[in-house]
Amino acid sequence: MKVWIDIMNSPHAHFFKGVIRELEKRGFEVLVTTREFDGLTQILDMLGIEYISIGKHGGSTLEGKLLASAERVYKLSKLIIEEKPDIAIYKNNPEAPRIAFGLNIPSIGFVDNETAVPQNKLMFPFTRRLLYPKPIDAYDLLRCGADPNALRPINAIAEVANVYGFKPNDEILKELGVRKYSYIVMRPEPIKATYFNGNRERSILEDIIPLLPDIPIVLFPRSEEQREIFEKFENVIIPENVVDTLTLLFYAKVMIGAGGTMNREAIVLGTPAISTYSGKLLAVTKWLIELGVLYHSTNPIEVATKAWEMIRKNNVYRRSIRNTIGFMENPVDVIVEEVESLVNSSDLRSYEGLYKSSYKKEEYGPPQKL
């Protein structure tokens, strides 16, 4: 039995690593595909996950995104037709669902960003089983084309899966020249994301860093432009290569992020986190704020003041976080359960005839010029 997992973004590598291992333990063959984007293939290499890389991110323009996505669907379809997987799995992904639907492959999708409406409209209608964190309003999924019978809420955030099997490795601290619990981790805005509706020209972190001059800051830029901006600050350390971010979050005093994933990973690891996201807040972000484990502000002075408080009362914050999030489900267990449910249902059947009749290698030459 072959399961295909398409990994589109760097956080998805951590999200799916546990799923891959648990499926392999149960005797499934796992095919992993990915693309070139934000050090993703290097992260997969670091995690020891075998993969086939097809396509790349289209950049920040609509034209670039469309062309890159169309090209990837074409190339990835050819591979999937040859590989003949029985089940497809993906997260926040517009391409794998279209391919799975077109080839009649049962699919399981996970979504935790209800604000990415254009992407969701390309994913939800083609997804057989759609898993999502309970705080998301099901209406936001239905209005993007989700089948009501496909929905399964999970009492968790995705990042619980990201820390599956995590064990801290102190070596990365030595490489960066920082000590345990003596630094802050930062991540700037996702300026290339379609869903981001904040300021793409200036990061709020540029105004926060000068207010935290006496503590090392390990910062992870999302682009070369961001790297050039932040490397000018004396107390900012920017890793040259892909590194073990989970260990850095585990040993950080505080995480300050203008995105989302690393904030939530920090919380799951018990590290206090501050969100400076300037766009529309996700349902999972609001939920964590309501639970009292995440602080949000776009005021640099308020952020710096809260950061110093978290540093002074670090152990108090850590205990509170651990006590609060212990009830959450693990998405790894839920996804594996859904795979096994599909295997044991009548929905899973042989597609051998479909593949043989619909695809001949010689029919697929280079794209014709219009």
The 10s digit of each residue's pLDDT in 192-233 is 665 565 666 789 999 999 999 999 999 999 888 899 999 999
**Pairing state between β 107-110 and 87-91:** parallel
Asked if residues 311 and 254 have their Cβ atoms less than 8 Å apart, the reply is: yes
The 10s digit of each residue's pLDDT in 33-43 is 999 887 899 99
Average pLDDT of the residues of the chain? 91
Across 221-247, average pLDDT: 93
Question: In the structure, what pLDDT confidence band is assigned to residue 58 with cuts at 50, 70 and 90?
Answer: confident
What is the separation, in whole angstroms, between the first and last Cα of the chain?
41
| pLDDT of 354 over the 60 cut | no
CA atoms of 87 and 74, how far apart (whole Å)? 19
Token output for 124: 């939800």
| pLDDT of 17 over the 70 cut | yes
- Indicate if 171-325 has the same CATH topology as 2-163+330-363: yes
CA atoms of 8 and 169, how far apart (whole Å)? 26
Hunting for tokens 């039995």 — which residue is that?
Answer: 1
**pLDDT for res 353:** 39
Hunting for tokens 């979050």 — which residue is that?
Answer: 249
Asked if residues 11 and 190 have their Cβ atoms less than 8 Å apart, the reply is: no
Q: Where are the domains of the chain?
A: 2-163+330-363, 171-325
Q: What is the DSSP letter of 180?
A: T
| pLDDT of 271 over the 90 cut | yes
| Share of residues in the chain with pLDDT > 90 (%) | 81
| pLDDT of 136 over the 70 cut | yes
The 10s digit of each residue's pLDDT in 329-343 is 999 999 999 999 999
Domain 171-325 has CATH 1.10.510.10: no
**pLDDT for res 315:** 97
pTM of the model: 0.87
Across 279-303, average pLDDT: 96
Q: What is the DSSP letter of 240?
A: S
CA atoms of 317 and 321, how far apart (whole Å)? 6
- State which CATH number among 3.40.50.2000, 3.20.20.60, 3.40.630.10, 3.40.1160.10 fits the domain covering 2-163+330-363: 3.40.50.2000
